[in-house]
Structure 1
């Protein structure tokens, strides 16, 4: 893999800054960190099992919960988002633009 563990740690630091009730995309994180590779951010999120990394707040560029398979069925991505007030329908965030958090603009 071309990216280092330090890149993954940088991804986790950004994800920790996403406020509850907001979401961002793999690509937005990649751009903020100076990368063009959103997939590597996705790889990082697959390894983000730590409780202090709110991986459920990272979705694809149109609000689809593409990382949902990585979550425990009893504490799944959709349930976590709903608990934060984010509406999800058919595995996609409703009103995605209104809850989107862009680290390049917010940080």
Structure 2
């Protein structure tokens, strides 16, 4: 994936936010590869789930703690869902293609 967008962050805080976003995206990529392509006896490798930010010339592999990161993201999504029960689904939303977790 190429995340080349925008200009170089000017502060350490904004650089850290960009790097954290890249780590999250790499974790999502790892989860997708693990769910869609890995077989029963195979596991996706975090070292092979790579994002490259062209502008910054920065490469990020999926973090080893991607499972924890995905659990935290899932918990945050559940909190949002609890807070906003009345949100209308977007146009074209197909509930049969959605994956729901408790």
TM-score of the superposed pair, with normalisation by structure 2: 0.30
Rg comparison, structure with higher value:
2
TM-score of the superposed pair, with normalisation by structure 1: 0.29
